[in-house]
Amino acid sequence: MRRSGVPGSMVLEGLRLLRIDLSRGKIKVEELDSDVARLFLGGKSLGYYLVYKLVPPGTDPLSPANVLVFSAGFFNALVPGASKVSVVSKSPLTRLIHDSSAGDFFGPLLRRAGFNAVIVEGASRDPIYLWIRDGEAEIRGAEKLWGLDTRRATRLLREETRSDASVAVIGPAGERLVRIANIVFDEERAAGRGGLGAVMGSKRLKAIVVHGSGKPRVKDQDALERLAKEWYRHFSESPRYEDLRRYGTTNALVYSSQVGMSPSYNFRKPWVPLELAERLGGEEVKRREVDPPWFLHGKSCPVKCARYARGKYKAWEFLVKPEYENLAMLGAATGVFELDPVLYFNRLVDDLGLDSISTGNAIAWFLELVEEGLVDPKDYGFEAKGFGDVEAVEKLIHLIAERRGIGAILAEGVARASQILGVGWERAVHVKGLEAPAWDPRGRRGLAVSYATADVGASHLRGWPRTRDPPSAGPAKEVVTSMARSRDEDALMDTLGVCRFVSYPVEALAEFYKVITGEERSVEDLLLIPQRAEALSRIHAVLDHLIPPIDDDIPPRWMEPEPEGPLKGERAFIDERDKVEAIREYYKLRGWHPVLGVPLPETLERLGLEWAVRDAEKALQVVAERASRIGLEV
């Protein structure tokens, strides 16, 4: 007997938004307009739309006027591997609209609770947390949780609510408004980038706890189940994902270091000897691997790339979930190539609520200044020897989370820290204020275009260009089209809530969409959804502060030639002309002004965003005036 859900036209109607006004202590539920639902669906794209509408340019990210959106992926609780929720807000680190995603349970349980997104507005006077379940929400006091680390707070919240609830929580770093603070989900997963934990802290919101037992509406339940089983089997059995199933991402330093893309020693040495990289590699992690507790095991994921390891540092044994970015930025970037201390650093930043990428980046930058004699750490009441100083890295992590001493400066992020200290700006590896992740673009021509133009700043999750042999061959302009396509596909997955490592072809995503909604949409139509979010983000950023022709840039370090390895002498771009031509090619592909990098009115009309045309016209005028004042020819 065929089981059919609801009429297709109804699946995109009645999607519910939970709005929490912490200043007034008010909770209300709103239905999302079905036309808006079709344009943005959920996850990242819906979050960007909501922040664009609710947060005017110029808003202080740490003020009550900013909003924090938890936007479930549209495929959450329906499709294997669709477990990601996007957290979206105006970043206190970059002042850009920023998203960061996390899984395994929060997004699906939010959908099962009957909500597609939670919008947190205003700010509470006292510490609170939100308890959301099956169509209801409650604001509860969190005084006894304030000051606790993320792990302890999560466990107490589960005792107070449900043992199988999902918990998104901040640690001491978020409470102290550290601009590189993150939000930790269920003890081991993080919405890490952009300092969104500080936004949560500014609202005195310690945590959101979610549980739900319902099911999202579906047009054709039988067809969905058949399709889900088919793809689950594919991902769980295909040899293509064998390395992911064995190592997760933990073996990536072995790859990145050999192709000249590692962040070793604050990106000074993107190539390091294999025997050094292997100290932080997958086989070393494998030797310490353990099964995770039940609530940390992603049952819906067919790849199951998450690895859990038992670490030992000094006399303390602990459980941690290492990933490549943690190992590379807290280890290789700081010059520490000993696995147990790096696993401990990983556990420490998780407990304190710090972004491992930004924290490792900022510490690596400071250690380079120490090693080069550009700063004397004793001037800041601190002892450090330079790269590889395990004790210094451990101490700096604590100081950043506590905003004490030199940690109070590094807590501002590497861009602001270089301004405060007045030294080392050319060694600060960031784009638009967001610290670079663990992939040096000198190892693949065109990746630097992705970093330079990304909506959030330096992110490795905003599109990769096709590779060439050698990877650094030819002008960057030649691979911009492939990078843009990759960016759209990745952002669509963030919209649907699909993990990047469950890499469905876009055609399969379109098929899932059809059986869920009953509506036929082409691949190209689906790929317009993230382009809408990107256009709104760009307009908002320009109206706030951005000057794209100047700010769409990369740090000086990536234009230094690689000092050794197979790509010795290579730079991220061949030269300045190569950079300008590639970035302008991206503007052209997007339908933006070819020099100013702002979406053109006709592009917004093509995207179905006619209501934003006036904002785009204003943005074009604003950036032209700013460019003129600094002598840039338009």
186-204: pLDDT as tens digits = 999 999 999 999 999 999 9
CB atoms within 10 A of CB 507: 10
Same domain, 352 and 268: yes
Q: What are 484-536's pLDDT values in tens digits?
A: 999 999 999 999 999 999 999 999 999 999 999 999 999 999 999 999 999 99
pLDDT of residue 307: 87
Q: Same domain, yes or no, for 517 and 421?
A: no
218, part of any domain: no
Asked whether residue 221 is domain-assigned, the answer is: no
Quick one: 207 and 289 in the same domain? no
**Domain membership flag for residue 222:** no
Mean pLDDT over 369-377 rounds to 96
Interval 390-434: pLDDT, tens: 999 999 999 999 999 999 999 999 999 999 999 999 999 999 999
State residue 8's pLDDT score: 47
CATH code of the domain containing 555:
1.10.599.10
Cα dist from 594 to 427, 432, 620, 629, whole Å:
30, 20, 11, 19
Return d(Cα 46, Cα 621) in angstroms, integer: 27
Residues 21 and 165 in one domain: yes
Q: What is the DSSP string of 529-577?
A: HHHHHHHHHHHHHHHHT--HHHHS---GGGGSPP-SSTTTT--SSSSHH
User: For 304, which DSSP code?
Assistant: -
Residue 233 lies in a domain: no
Query: Which SS3 state, helix, strand or coil, does residue 170 take?
Result: coil
Q: Does the structure show a pLDDT above 50 at 466?
A: yes
* Collapsed DSSP state (helix, strand, coil) of residue 4: strand
pLDDT value at residue 1 = 31
Rounded average pLDDT over 72-96:
97
The CATH number of whichever domain residue 118 belongs to comes to 3.60.9.10
Please indicate, yes or no, whether residues 242 and 387 belong to a single structural domain of this protein. yes
CB 523 within 8 A of CB 485: no
Average pLDDT over residues 548-564: 97
Q: How many CB atoms lie within 10 A of CB 42?
A: 27
Grade residue 80 by pLDDT with cuts at 50, 70 and 90.
very high
Mean residue pLDDT of the chain comes to 95
Query: Quick one: 168 and 296 in the same domain?
Result: no
The gap from C-alpha 431 to its chain's centroid, in whole angstroms, comes to 14
Q: Which pLDDT tens digit goes with each residue over 176-188?
A: 999 999 999 999 9
Q: Is residue 561 part of a domain?
A: yes
Of 371, 405, 434, which residue constitutes the final position of a domain? 434
Mean per-residue pLDDT for 204-230? 96
Q: Are residues 475 and 365 in the same domain?
A: no
- Report the share of the chain in percent with pLDDT over 90: 90
Instruction: Specify the pTM.
Output: 0.96
Together in a domain, 462 and 517 = yes
Point out the domain boundary residue: 434, 456, 475: 434
> What is the extent of the structural domain holding 76?
8-211
With CA atoms as reference, report the closest residue to 91 among 177, 31, 7. Answer: 177
Cα 612 from Cα 633, distance rounded (Å): 26
Closest by CA position to 494, among listed 519, 522, 459, 443: 459
Q: CA 15: distance to chain centroid? A: 25
For residue 364, being part of any structural domain is answered with: yes
Q: Residues 452, 508: one domain? A: yes
Give me the mean pLDDT over the 588-609 stretch: 97
Pair (472, 372) in one structural domain: no
pLDDT at residue 367 is higher than 70: yes
pLDDT at 452 over 60: yes
| Tokens matching residue 278 | 């292997």
Same domain, 58 and 144: yes
User: How crowded is the C-beta side of 394, counted as CA atoms within 13 Å?
Assistant: 11
Q: How confident is the model at residue 2 (pLDDT cuts 50, 70, 90)?
A: very low
- Is residue 45 situated within a structural domain? yes
3-state class of 513 per DSSP?
Answer: helix
User: Among candidates 423, 418, 474, which has minimal Cα distance to 446?
Assistant: 474
Count of domains for the chain = 3
Q: Is residue 225 part of a domain?
A: no
Both 579 and 533 in one domain: the answer is: yes
